[in-house]
């Protein structure tokens, strides 16, 4: 009896030992650090839903190179310190193959050095150009550069013949980086930033700030943030009876932000990827099929309107899958594959990576969009 | 041509300045009234229990979120009334479950309990609702409609906020001074033991103070939500500002709390004019620290009364 039991235990142990390496070879662990809650939840929540949907799709189709994708989504609540400790947890304890995210620029800046030192791929879903400039070997990002967003906005302002603008930004990594780009590029376009003010990311009302801009008599207002507070800017401008163009950053690409503006959304201009206007693209456009499919899939599974932020996670995930497909489950080979990837169609644009460019998107990844009276996004004409 | 333009500018600048000053006042009073109402919530509970309820901001959040949900099924006024009633029940439940059975709790323990409760309420709200920000529709007009008063633009919702909050303060004053129940609460506030000797049920008065301050918070949350939006974690920031206003006005004084709120709101608003806007939130903290160092009894507080209460 006793020998029997020993045998059973030994067999069980052997089976376990045999099972574990097998399981490790059959799955690939992908970490994700997203601001699912907190002030950047309009970014992180659609990103998380997108990743869950894509992982399920890949696994249903038999996985990637025969490996199931095991997705570990961690909520950072938009907190950079928390993002760093989550990155350490994912890399050191979970030994993930790569990390997708974080959602915000501040968090991405905080963890990029750590990821590079630990030789684990980071595909950031945040926009600040500083994330991939200077290039770190292991750090990539999927959203369009803020510098290009600035060029689109200044180009439009120049076309309107305006010279003097006022800038508002939130006190986050994204807001500060955007303001830096605005101040850097303004002279190139012959535009004067007469006043620049920063507000708290959790601000509930911006009447006082906008009043200060109005007193400077600027000809256009540019706001740079990704939090719900950005909806307060057009509201305050219009409420004060002030009839100047209002520009938002590409951080405005969630229709909920326009809805939060109510009637003030009408006419707000912002550069964004083509995802939000997928339906009106010509069928010949190389992104059309992918955009329409993602939009349809997302809206069916998440039961809410698609946003550019979910698109950034879509790009991060599909790029990683492509890199694994080419390079296999080897971190260095997958990284090299990603770095040399050209002509990859994503939601944000056509990615052309190189050792000097870990963003891979150019000016053509943007269109100038505007919101209509009933809070729909359309191409600005 | 250039001469005409130059001549037009100074006059224009002068009229602009007075308009703009008024506009800053309007913005300041709007924030200020909101802070004032939170401060009054602190005051009511402090007066009857001697504790600071750090979950006060959560009452505003709960009220507004509940009203947003109810509003899908019933008309706006009914939704607000329902939300106020539900939040009052939550306030009563908190007191009965977590506070009532404590015998002579230390101040530190009470702070721990109320901070803990505020975290629990936030997390529960995150699960009951979601991470998104919500808002009730504007009661009158919409986000951009504004009345022009002497060159300044005032959103009709601001009038609702000022009106409703002002009415609450007046009714509360009446309640405390002209009704037997209000007098009993005040008796508990000034001397709990003596009040009990007179046959007042002090414990019920404490429950009532939680109910009242929850109801006030909820109503305020509903009225301000079209302007400020509300999400599961909006209570914290409001609680800090409200607490500052309460201290500024002298903890324990309802009128002081209301005045403290308006003063704080105006200070914040005008700080944007003089300083970079980034320092706006630092103003509240600076004011709070300043008052605590220089005049801990508050601007309108009475040093004598504070000392007596301490004994």
Express each pLDDT in B138-190 by its tens digit.
998 888 888 888 888 888 998 998 899 889 888 988 998 899 998 888 888 77
Angstrom distances, CA of residue B83 to CA of A49, B221, B274: 31, 10, 40
- Could you give the angle at which helices B235-248 and B280-294 cross, rounded to 10 degrees? 40
Q: Which of B131, B139, B278 to mutate to test the interface with A (most CBs of A within 10 A)?
A: B131
Residue A336: asked if its preceding bond is cis (omega within 30°), the reply is no
In chain A, helix, strand, coil percent, each to 5? 50, 20, 30
- Beta strands in chain B, from DSSP E residues, in sequence order: 147-149, 152-154
What are A197-255's pLDDT values in tens digits?
Answer: 999 888 888 888 999 999 899 999 999 998 888 999 999 999 888 999 999 999 898 88
Q: Is the pLDDT of residue A88 over 90?
A: yes
Would you call A199 an interface residue with chain B, using a CB distance cutoff of 8 Å? yes
> Residues in chain B, how many?
311
CB-neighbour burial class of residue B126 (10 A; exposed 0-12, middle 13-18, buried 19+): middle
Q: Is A123 helix (H, G, I), strand (E, B) or coil?
A: strand
SS (H, E, C) A37-49: CCCCHHHHHHHHH
Chain A contact for B266 (CB, 8 A cutoff): no
Q: Which of A48, A203, A204, A230 to mutate to test the interface with B (most CBs of B within 10 A)?
A: A204
- Pairwise CA distance, residues A300 & A306, whole Å: 10
Would you say the C-alpha torsion A217, B27, B18, B275 has a positive or negative sign? negative
Q: Which residues on neighbouring strands pair with residue B154, listed in sequence order?
A: B147
Q: Which residue has the tokens 């507000």?
A: A199
Could you give the CA distance from residue A227 to residue A77 in angstroms, rounded to a whole number?
12
A202 CB within 8 Å of a chain B CB: yes
Q: Which helix (H) or strand (E) holds A139?
A: strand A139-141
- Give the residues of chain B that fall short of pLDDT 50: 1-14, 308-311
Class of domain A146-272: alpha beta
Q: Which residues make Cβ contacts (< 8 Å) with residue A149, sequence separation at least 6?
A: A127, A178, A181, A249, A250, A271, A366
Q: Cα A151 from chain centroid? A: 19
Q: What is the pLDDT of residue B3?
A: 38
In the predicted model, what is the mean pLDDT of residues A55-72? 94
How many Cβ pairs closer than 8 A exist between chain A and B? Answer: 101
Looking at chain A, which residues constitute the CATH 3.40.50.2300 domain(s)? Answer: 11-144+288-361, 146-272
Distance from CA of B297 to the nearest CA of A (A): 29
- Tokens representing residue B17 in the block: 């300045």
For tokens 């919409």, the residue is B142
Q: Nearest-CA neighbor of A380 among A256, A231, A229, A271?
A: A271
Report percent pLDDT > 90 for chain A.
Answer: 75
Chain A partners of B145 at a C-beta cutoff of 8 Å? 239
- Going from the N-terminus, what domains does chain B have, and what CATH number goes with each? 3-7+17-306 (1.10.3470)
Nearest CA among A304, A317, A369 for reference residue A346: A317
pLDDT tier at A153, thresholds 50, 70, 90:
very high
Show Cβ contacts of residue A287 under 8 Å, excluding neighbours closer than 6 positions.
A274, A278, A281, A345, A346, A347, A349, A350
B121 to chain A, minimum CA–CA distance in Å?
15
Confidence at residue A170, expressed as pLDDT on a 0 to 100 scale: 93
Which residues, in sequence order, are CB contacts of B78 under 8 Å at separation 6+?
B70
* Chain B residues 127-166 with CB within 8 Å of chain A: 130-133, 135, 138, 142-146, 148, 153, 155
- Protein fold of A11-144+288-361: Rossmann fold (3.40.50)
* Length of chain A measured in residues: 381
So what's the ipTM on this one? 0.79
Residue of chain A with shortest Cα separation from B271: A208
| Distance in angstroms (rounded) separating the CA atoms of residues B197 and B209 | 20
To the nearest whole angstrom, how far is the Cα of B269 from the nearest Cα of chain A?
A: 6
Whether B229 and A261 lie within 8 Å, measured CB to CB = no
Closest-CA distance of chain B to residue A305, Å: 14
Give ∠ CA B273-B220-B158 in degrees, rounded to 5.
45
Tens-digit pLDDT profile for residues A26-42: 899 999 999 998 888 88
The CA distance from B200 to B174, in Å, is 20
| Cα–Cα dist A222/A164, whole Å | 11
Q: Are B39 and B261 contacting, i.e. CB atoms less than 8 angstroms apart? A: yes
């Amino acid at each position: 009896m006793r020998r029997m039991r020993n045998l059973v235990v030994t067999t069980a142990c052997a089976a376990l030992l045999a099972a574990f390496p097998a399981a490790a070879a059959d799955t690939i662990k992908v970490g994700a650090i997203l601001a699912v809650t907190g002030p950047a939840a309009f970014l992180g929540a659609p990103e998380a839903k997108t990743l869950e949907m894509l992982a399920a799709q890949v696994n249903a189709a038999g996985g990637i190179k025969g490996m199931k994708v095991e997705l570990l989504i961690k909520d950072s609540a938009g907190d950079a310190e928390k993002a760093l400790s989550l990155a350490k947890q994912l890399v050191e304890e979970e030994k993930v193959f790569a990390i997708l995210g974080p959602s915000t620029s501040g968090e991405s800046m905080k963890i990029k050095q750590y990821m590079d030192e630990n030789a684990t791929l980071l595909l950031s879903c945040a926009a600040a150009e500083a994330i991939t400039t200077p290039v770190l070997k292991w750090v990539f990002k999927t959203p369009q550069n803020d510098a290009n967003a600035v060029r689109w906005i200044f180009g439009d302002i120049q076309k309107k013949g305006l010279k003097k603008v006022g800038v508002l930004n939130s006190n986050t990594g994204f807001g500060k980086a955007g303001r830096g780009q605005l101040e850097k590029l303004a002279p190139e376009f012959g535009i004067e930033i007469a006043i620049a003010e920063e507000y708290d990311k959790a601000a509930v009302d911006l009447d006082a700030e906008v009043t200060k801009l109005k007193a400077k008599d600027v000809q256009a207002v540019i706001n740079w943030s990704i939090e719900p507070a950005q909806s307060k800017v057009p509201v305050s401008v219009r409420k004060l009876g002030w009839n100047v163009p209002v520009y938002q950053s590409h951080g405005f690409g969630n229709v909920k932000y326009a809805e939060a503006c109510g009637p003030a959304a009408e006419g707000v201009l912002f550069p964004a990827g083509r995802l939000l206007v997928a339906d009106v693209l010509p069928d010949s456009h190389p992104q059309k099929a992918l955009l329409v499919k993602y939009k349809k899939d997302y809206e069916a599974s998440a039961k809410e309107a698609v946003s550019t932020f979910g698109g950034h996670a879509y790009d991060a995930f599909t790029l990683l899958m492509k890199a694994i497909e080419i390079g296999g489950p080897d971190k260095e080979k997958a990284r090299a594959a990603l770095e040399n990837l050209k002509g990859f169609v994503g939601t944000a644009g056509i990615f052309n990576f190189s050792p000097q460019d870990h963003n891979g998107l150019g000016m053509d990844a943007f269109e100038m969009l505007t919101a209509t009276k009933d809070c729909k996004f359309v191409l600005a004409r | 041509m250039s001469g005409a333009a130059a001549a037009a500018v100074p006059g224009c600048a002068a009229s602009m300045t007075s308009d703009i000053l008024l506009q800053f006042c309007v913005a300041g009073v709007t924030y200020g009234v909101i802070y004032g109402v939170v401060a009054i919530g602190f005051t009511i509970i402090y007066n009857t229990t001697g504790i600071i309820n750090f979950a006060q901001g959560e009452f505003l959040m709960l009220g507004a979120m509940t009203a947003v949900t109810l509003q899908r099924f019933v008309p706006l006024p009914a939704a607000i009334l329902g939300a106020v009633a539900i939040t009052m029940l939550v306030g009563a439940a908190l007191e009965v479950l977590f506070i009532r059975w404590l015998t002579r709790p230390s101040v530190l323990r009470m702070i721990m309990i109320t901070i803990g409760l505020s975290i629990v309420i936030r997390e529960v709200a995150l699960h009951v609702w979601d991470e998104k920000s919500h808002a009730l529709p504007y009661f009158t007009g919409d986000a951009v409609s504004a009345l022009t008063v002497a060159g300044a633009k005032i959103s009709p919702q601001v009038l609702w906020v000022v009106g409703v909050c002002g009415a609450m303060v007046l009714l509360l004053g009446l309640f405390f001074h002209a009704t037997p129940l209000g007098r009993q609460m005040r008796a508990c506030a000034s001397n709990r033991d003596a009040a009990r000797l007179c046959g007042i049920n002090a414990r019920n008065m404490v429950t009532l103070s939680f109910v009242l301050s929850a109801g006030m918070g909820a109503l305020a949350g509903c009225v301000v939500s079209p302007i400020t939006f509300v999400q599961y974690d909006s209570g914290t920031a409001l609680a800090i500002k409200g607490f500052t206003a309460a201290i500024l006005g002298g903890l324990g004084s309802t009128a002081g709390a209301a005045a403290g709120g308006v003063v704080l709101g105006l200070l914040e608003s005008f700080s944007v004019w003089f300083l970079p806007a980034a320092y706006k939130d630092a103003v509240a903290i600076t004011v709070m620290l300043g008052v605590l160092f220089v005049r801990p009894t508050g601007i309108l507080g009475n040093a004598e009364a504070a000392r007596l209460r301490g004994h």
